[in-house]
């Protein structure tokens, strides 16, 4: 519900109904919506930790990073959709998860920056590529595509394939030397 409607657009009653438990049952586990949000952000932090744990593998080469995009940052995956929605909402100063969401965004950007830094050290990137910018740009594209998957994609004909992973691969390829694109 938070992924589809955001924190402010979801009530504990609606969430209870959606998952099939009574409202009082929900209150037994989470005494308020903010407590539920904390639990959801805890899960997002676990997801970020799994990405951190895989960082050495992801920075091995372009192919490993692309595989990580499929497995960790797929725009249609629930953790990423949830991250995109809550991240967008957290621009509001009164959002209870604002600082935790900002920290999560920085963690993901840092992992990707670390990958691009390693690629730069290996001489795989185009001259002048800033690894910090590349990490931020790629993660921004992940979040943008997650929103697109929920907004634009349902309006299109079934035969139209936007291929968000293809878009992410194209974004990655912008930073790599031309000869590296055929190596992986």
Give the chain's end-to-end CA distance (angstroms, integer): 39
Q: Answer whether residue 4 is part of any domain.
A: no
Q: Answer whether residue 25 is part of any domain.
A: no
Tokens of 155: 């309006």
> C-alpha dihedral over 89, 116, 107, 56, to 10 degrees?
140
Whole-angstrom distance, CA of residue 80 vs CA of residue 78: 5
Per-residue pLDDT tens digits for 56-84: 999 999 999 999 999 999 999 999 999 99
Whole-angstrom distance, CA of residue 149 vs CA of residue 146: 5
In this predicted structure, what is the pLDDT of residue 132? Answer: 98
Whole-angstrom distance, CA of residue 28 vs CA of residue 24: 6
In this predicted structure, what is the pLDDT of residue 148? Answer: 87
* pTM recorded for the entire structure: 0.89
Count: domains in the chain: 1
Whole-angstrom distance, CA of residue 126 vs CA of residue 33: 47
* Residue 155 pLDDT level (bands cut at 50, 70, 90): low
Residue 61, domain extent: 34-182
Whole-angstrom distance, CA of residue 37 vs CA of residue 2: 8
What CATH number has the domain bearing residue 170? 1.10.357.10
In eight-state DSSP terms, residue 92 is S
Q: Answer whether residue 12 is part of any domain.
A: no
């Amino acid at each position: 519900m938070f992924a589809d409607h955001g924190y402010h657009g979801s009530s504990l009653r609606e969430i209870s109904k959606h998952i099939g438990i009574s409202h009082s049952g929900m209150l037994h586990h989470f005494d308020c919506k903010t407590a539920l949000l904390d639990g959801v952000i805890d899960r997002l932090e676990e997801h970020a930790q799994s990405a951190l744990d895989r960082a050495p593998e992801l920075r091995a080469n372009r192919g490993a990073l692309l595989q990580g995009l499929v497995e960790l940052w797929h725009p249609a995956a629930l953790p990423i959709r949830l991250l995109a929605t809550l991240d967008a909402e957290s621009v509001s100063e009164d959002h209870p998860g604002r600082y935790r969401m900002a920290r999560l965004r920085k963690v993901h950007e840092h992992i990707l920056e670390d990958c691009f830094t390693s690629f730069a050290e290996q001489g795989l990137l185009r001259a002048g590529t800033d690894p910090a910018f590349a990490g931020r740009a790629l993660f921004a594209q992940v979040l943008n595509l997650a929103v697109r998957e929920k907004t634009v994609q349902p309006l299109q004909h079934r035969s139209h394939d936007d291929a968000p992973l293809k878009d992410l691969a194209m974004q990655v390829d912008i930073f790599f030397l031309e000869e590296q694109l055929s190596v992986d």
